[in-house]
Amino acid sequence: MLTVIVRRFLLAIPTLLALTALLFFSVTTILGSPATMMLGEDASPKAIAELNARYGFDRPAHVQYFDWLGRALTGDFGRSYTSQDPVGAAIAGALPVTLELSAWAILLAVTAAVGLNSLPNRPALRRFVVLGNLVGITMPNFILGIGLIFLFSVQLGWLPTTGWVPWSDGVLAHLRHMIMPVLTLSAYYFGAFSLVYRAEFSDVYHRLYIRTARAKGLSPAKVAYKHALPNAILPVITFAGLSMGHLTGGAVVTETVFSMPGVGRLFVAAIAGRDFPIMLAVGMVVVVGVVVMNLIADILYTIVNPQIRLE
């Protein structure tokens, strides 16, 4: 297991370098002059030159990249152009909110998709799962979030409309603020994971070792959860690892709808204010998160099904 982790980690290093370089050059070069974007097209050449000199935009692009990367690896992402506060502090304050939201959403989506699709096939259950798949995959996050707010907050008054409460202010208050955002963010993944898992589960359930287990008199639940699930869940693990980048995009919309102080909302504010250090820091967090989640997915493969050998 340690060999697998070290090997995957070493393979991840060039990937991270390539992705962070693409991120940096797309924000600071490909999208246009940062100084021009910050000051506007009508800014004078003198003002643009002064801003370039102030923030080092007049240096060669590769020099700027390696300087930024070196400081970022030490946790120094610079200062916000709008507030002049350290970017690292802003990320550290917003990241736990997004991580918790994403973790709850993925956990709920995987558990519900695997649990419901492993149950005996009954018409009422299948209709409920198919309806959930349809709603989750086709309905945009912001529409679903607004609909949940209208139903559970405006009409029923069961849950707070928007906002976020830390754990220190009370467990119940915190969870009540998390219910609707988690449901909103997990809806798409429940539908996607259900389709992937159901297709694999149906294929696995007709294999010889499953028929043998059923012939031995094992209960349907034991056959499904002990023998079929470990093999059928492997594509879901892969899909969950690959979905981290998309999950961040969903978190941006969800946090904006529910006014949560997470990385997604911070990123939206950075784009609106053309705050490049925050944009780069958030992008790097997303890139590292995707690579780490793929590493975890590879490791889970060997834990769930030891017959798989990673080369």
Q: First and final CA of the chain: distance in angstroms? A: 12
What is the average per-residue pLDDT within 172-184? 90
Q: What confidence score (pLDDT) does residue 180 get?
A: 92
Mean of the per-residue pLDDT values of the chain: 80
Q: Which one has a higher pLDDT value, 181 or 116?
A: 181
Q: Is 309 a residue whose pLDDT tops 60?
A: no
Q: Is 274 a residue whose pLDDT tops 80?
A: no
Q: Is 93 a residue whose pLDDT tops 80?
A: yes
Residue 121 to residue 60: CA distance in whole angstroms: 62
Are 178 and 100 a contacting pair, CB within 8 Å? yes
Specify the range with the lowest mean pLDDT, choosing from 52-66, 205-219, 242-256, 292-306.
292-306
Q: What confidence score (pLDDT) does residue 310 get?
A: 46
Q: What is the per-residue burial (b if ≥16 Cβ within 10 Å, else e) of 200-239?
A: bbeebbeeeebeebeeeeeeeeebbeebbbebbbbebbbb
Q: How crowded is residue 307: how many other Cβ atoms within 10 Å of its Cβ?
A: 7
Q: Could you tell me which of 102, 67, 81 has the C-alpha nearest to residue 178?
A: 102
Q: What confidence score (pLDDT) does residue 181 get?
A: 92
Q: What confidence score (pLDDT) does residue 17 get?
A: 84
pLDDT tens, residue by residue, 128-171? 888 888 888 888 888 888 999 998 888 888 888 888 888 888 88
* Two tokens, residue 228: 């079929």
pLDDT tens, residue by residue, 11-57? 778 888 888 888 888 777 665 666 666 666 666 777 777 777 777 77
Q: Which one has a higher pLDDT value, 183 or 213?
A: 183
Q: Which one has a higher pLDDT value, 87 or 294?
A: 87
Q: Could you tell me which of 19, 279, 265, 297 has the C-alpha nearest to residue 164?
A: 265
Predicted TM-score (pTM) of the model is 0.76
Please report which confidence band the pLDDT of residue 308 belongs to, taking 50, 70 and 90 as the band edges: low
Q: What confidence score (pLDDT) does residue 182 get?
A: 92
Q: Where in the chain is the domain with CATH 1.10.3720.10?
A: 94-273
What CATH number has the domain spanning 94-273? 1.10.3720.10
